[in-house]
Amino acid sequence: MGAVAGAVLGAPISTILIVFEMTGDYALTIAVMTATVIASVITQQLHGRSFFVWQLERRGVTIKGGQEISLLRTIAVDGFTDKRFETIAAQAPLVQVRERLSGPPPGASSS
């Protein structure tokens, strides 16, 4: 049962830990560990992922990357960049660099 659950859910380590927590039996845990690894490898070879993820993808639900990926795809990086900056030549003397750094920030009003 642990092997089937680990392969279907795609969470073999969690399944093994749950069985160990429920039983406290080391021998049983090693047996479940072996069976879960074999079942997970077979599922990965047949489906390329867990059986559960495969079923979701058949229904059109993609969970790759989670909710954060969908959110990040809707936000343009251009909205987070500050275009108010000054440049200074690489050959500029250190005194000029210090003056620019100690002065008001670019785009700041000097009132």
Residue-by-residue pLDDT tens, the chain, 111 positions: 888 888 888 888 998 999 999 999 999 999 999 999 999 888 888 877 777 777 788 887 777 766 677 677 778 887 778 777 778 899 999 999 998 888 776 666 655
Torsion of CA 47, 53, 55, 57, to 10 degrees: -100
Which amino acid, 64? K
Distance separating alpha carbons of residues 49 and 62, to the nearest angstrom: 12
Contacts for 10 with CB less than 8 Å, ≥ 6 apart: 40, 43, 49, 50, 51, 52, 53
Selection from 41, 24, 34 nearest residue 2 by Cα: 34
